[in-house]
Amino acid sequence: MGGRQDRAHIGALLEHDSPVYILNVMNEHTYKRERQTPMDSQVIAPTLTPSVPYDDPRQAMRWLTDVLGFRAAGVYEDPDGSVAHAELVWRTGVVYVSGRSPNSPWANVGPTSIALTAEDAETVDRYYQQAVAAGAEIIRPLHDAPYGSHQFDVRDPGGNFWTVGTYQARIPVEV
C-alpha cells in the first residue's frame, strides 16, 4: 500500500473504541492537532513501554493489528505523511512504533523480542490461527512451556520475535 491507502488504513485502525489522536508535525517545534478525544478517568498508564522501529512502520502496524490483535491508539505523522511515532495497544500494554530515520540513534536497533500475555489458552490458539492464516513465520508452534505457559512464537515482517502466551509474571507488592 502507499500514501492514500496507508492513511485510509490507519484511519480505519483508529476507528476502534479507544480515545485516539493524530498530530501532524508542522516543524520540529510545532504540532497541529487534527483529532483528539478527552482522556478518560479509566485510563491505564503503563510504566514500561517498548519502542520498536521498523523500515516500514505502516506495514508493521497493519501486521500487528491484523495478526496479533493490537489496536492503534495514536499516530503522529511527519509533514511528509510518514509515521513519526505510533502507539499500539494490546490489553493493558503499549508498544511504540516508528520508522527508522537514518539520522536517528534508533536506526540500527533490533530486532527485539516481546512477550504478550493473553487472557487464556483459547485466545492464544485464536492468535496462532490468525498468524498461520496470514502466512506469518512461526518460530515455535503452539506448545505448553515447562513454566506453565500455553504459547507460540512468531516473527513479524521487521524481524522481531513475538511470544503470545498465557504466562503472567507476578510482581510482589513491596511492604
CATH code at 111-175: 3.30.720.110
Is-contact 57 86, C-beta < 8 A? yes
| More confidently predicted of 107 and 172 | 172
Whether this prediction's pTM lies above 0.85 is answered by no
Domain spanning 1-35+46-109, CATH architecture: 2-Layer Sandwich (3.30)
Which tops the pLDDT comparison, 47 or 14?
47
Using alpha carbons, select from 44, 15, 17, 25 the residue that is nearest to residue 98.
25
Nearest to 106, CA basis, from 156, 29, 51: 51
Query: Which position has the higher pLDDT, 24 or 103?
Result: 103
pLDDT beyond 50 at 29: no
How many alpha carbons fall within 13 Å on the CB side of residue 113? 5
Average pLDDT, the chain: 81
Q: Where are the domains of the chain?
A: 1-35+46-109, 111-175
pLDDT digits (tens, 9 = 90+) for 31-87: 434 444 445 556 667 778 899 999 999 999 999 999 999 999 999 998 888 898 999
Matching CATH topology for 1-35+46-109 and 111-175?
yes
Max Cα separation, the chain? Answer: 54
